[in-house]
Amino acid sequence: MVGIPSRHRSLFLLGGVVLLQVLLLAVQIKRDSQGRLIRVWTVGAVSPFERVGAHGISDIREIWDHYFALQNTSRENEELKHENDALKLQITQLQGKAAEADRLAALLKFRQTNVNVPMVSARVIGGSADSASQTIYLDRGERDGIRRNMGVITPDGVVGKIIESYRDTSQVLLLTDKDSGVGAMLVDSRIQSPVGGTGDPLLVMKYIPNDDAVNSGERVVTSGMDRIFPRDLPVGVIADIKPGNPFKQIHVRPAANLQRLEEVFVLLSLKPLETKQDSVAPNADGPAAAPTASTEKPGSSEKP
Amino acid sequence: MNDAFDIRSSELHIEVHKFRAGAIVLAAAFALVLQAFLPIYFPKAGILDLPLLITIYFGLSRRNPSTGLLLGMTIGILQDSLSGPTVPLGLYGIAKTVIGYLASSIGARLDTEHPAARFALTIAFYAVHQGIVALTQRVLLSQPERWFTLHLGAAALVNAFVAVFLFMLLDRLRKPS
């Protein structure tokens, strides 16, 4: 043996022979869970190098990709930005469609729970040309059975009434218009009084004497006395109350979102509507609308 | 090569013995056969480890570590082969390889011709041999082999006693110096 001192040759031979026999044993011995011992040893001896090599290659590749191979990064970045913008737009569109689907589902549910009330759904296609009047245009008109003075509602509450009906469109006077009004009553006390617009977002409940107890936050519903809207449709909620002379100054926040209307229902009847409370006003959780003696003050019908 | 020569002429006069042709092979084969054959008819004879005694004797006599360990390896692996499927090849091979190397190395430094020295060395080699076997079984085979028992102690004494007389017989196989 070259390079090994003669006095150590036998020692090296001993080591080699013993190692050889240990390997021979390892080939024969079979561990229950891990297979043959030689395989266990081999895997155990090789895997650290493989692990180090794999990590090394991964690190080198990462360094290369992140610091050297950047010639296409700018272009890819631009592409990703464009793709990101397109996806954002798509998300916005989808969110709009989802919101529309929710609204339509609510309309459908409202329609299904009021099958005995003749009504037609319509889409808002335009608004008032001037800021002095609160009106909107619908995509349905006389051909769909819509006539003047028909009520317009949403599942949330009263919207207004038809003031003009054309062949395929119609114009709605919103509840917030200063010329608008609806027969209403307080849910808790059953006090009846017309509610009208002032041109502001809030409505005004008129003719409530200072002696009558009215609470802020109390709900206001239709009384049915205007012969346009069925009884117990939500009109709004008392926003604030101030003493006046001779009547209280009561502001009502509309139940329907009149600032953002997209779909509405038009009540297709000019006759007085008699509907059950639970079917007409699914959102109204107030007491049952027991027939009460009319306490509506003069002038409770809507203004012309 | 001379039949016998001094390896440490300046200090001790220890001879390296040569044996008649085929003596080592025949002695080893005979020991292996007896080791496999005797316990069938004389179960008590299982206490003897004749291949080990042969390894020790020729290691001490030849006094060449390389040939000693190769002889031990050969005898050990053959013993493993004859021991059945429960003993993997290499179990006794490793032990007897080491014993062959140690016997040759010690034989080159000590006078091992005296029966008392042979008796003592056989006990020591037997203990080392069993230690290596136990170590191999514990580490490689995961078998809880005990390091020492009274039976092993008695076996060491018996083998050492037999070795004294066996070595005298084997001395007759030497070529006259």
**Tens of pLDDT along A43-88?**
787 778 878 888 888 888 888 888 887 777 888 888 999 999 999 9
Q: Is residue A30 part of a domain?
A: no
In a domain, B177, yes or no: no
Q: How far apart are CA A37 and CA A227, in angstroms?
A: 96
Q: Where do we find the tokens 């059945």? A: B84
Q: Is A233 inside any structural domain?
A: yes
Looking at the domain assignment, is residue B52 inside a domain? yes
Residue B103 has pLDDT above 90, yes or no: yes
pLDDT at B108: 78
- Residue A123 belongs to a domain: yes
Task: Give tens-digit pLDDT for B46-96.
Answer: 899 999 999 999 998 888 888 899 999 999 988 888 776 777 888 899 999
Q: Give the residue, A128 or A278, on which the prediction is more confident.
A: A128
Determine how β-strand A135-138 pairs with β-strand A119-127. Answer: antiparallel
For A:22-81, CB contacts with B below 8 A are 22, 24-26, 28-29, 31, 37
DSSP string, A4-65: S-HHHHHHHHHHHHHHHHHHHHHHH-EETTTEEHHHHHHHHHHHHHHHHHHHHHHHHHHHII
Of residues A129, A212, A180, the one with CA closest to residue A302: A180
Residue B97 contacts A, CB cutoff 8 Å = yes
pLDDT score for A23: 86
HSE-up (13 A, CA, CB side) for residue A95: 6
Residue A42, pLDDT > 50, answer: yes
User: For residue B59, is it within any domain?
Assistant: yes
Find the DSSP H helices in A64-165.
Answer: 73-113
Task: Tell me whether residue A297 is in a domain.
Answer: no
How many domains, chain A? 1
Over pLDDT 90: what percentage of chain A? 19
Closest to A41 measured CA to CA, from A23, A14, A28, A54 = A23
Residue A120 tokens, joined: 């037609």
Per-residue pLDDT, B101: 93
Confirm whether A127 is domain-assigned: yes
Residue A96 lies inside a defined structural domain of this protein:
no
Q: Which residues pair with A181 in a beta bridge?
A: A196
- Which of the four pLDDT bands, split at 50, 70 and 90, describes residue A302? very low
Q: Which residues of B touch A10 (CB under 8 A)?
A: 64-66, 69, 101, 104-105
Q: How far is CA A138 from CA A89, A118, A161, A261, in A?
A: 28, 17, 11, 10
pLDDT (mean) for A283-292: 35
Residue A36 lies in a domain: no
Question: Residue A166: how many CB atoms within 10 A of its CB?
Answer: 14
Whole domain around residue A190: which residue ranges? 119-280
Euclidean distance between CA atoms A178 and A158, whole angstroms: 16
Residue at B17 is within a domain: no
Coil, strand, or helix at residue B92? helix
B7 has a chain A CB within 8 A of its CB: no
Q: Give the domain CATH number at A154.
A: 2.40.10.340
Which residues are registered as beta bridge partners of A203?
Answer: A252
**Are the beta carbons of A18 and B97 separated by less than 8 Å?**
yes
Kindly tell me if the per-residue pLDDT of B6 is higher than 50: no
Residue B109 maps to which CATH number? Answer: 1.10.1760
- Structure token pair of residue A199: 């041109």
ipTM for this prediction: 0.76
Nearest-by-Cβ selection for A25 from B70, B101, B140: B140
In this complex, which of B90, B98, B104 lies closest to A25 when CB atoms are compared? B90
Tell me, yes or no, whether B16 lies in a domain: no
Asked if residue A299 has pLDDT above 70, the reply is no
Domain that holds residue B28: 23-171
Q: Determine whether the interchain pair A25/B136 forms a contact, defined as Cβ–Cβ distance below 8 Å.
A: yes
Whether B48 is covered by a domain: the verdict is yes
In this prediction, residue A33 carries a pLDDT of 65
Q: How would you class B154 by CB atoms within 10 Å of its CB: exposed for 0-12, middle for 13-18, buried for 19 or more? A: exposed
**In the predicted model, is pLDDT for residue A276 greater than 60?**
no
Nearest chain A residue to B91, by CA:
A25
A225: in domain: yes
**What tokens appear for A161 in the block?**
């009434």
User: Which residue does chain A place closest to B101, by CA atoms?
Assistant: A14
Q: Is B77 on the interface with A (CB under 8 A)?
A: yes
Total domain count, chain B: 1
pLDDT of residue A2: 52
**Mean pLDDT estimate for chain B:** 84
Q: Say if A4 is an interface residue toward chain B (CB within 8 Å).
A: no
CA-nearest residue to B92 within chain A is: A21
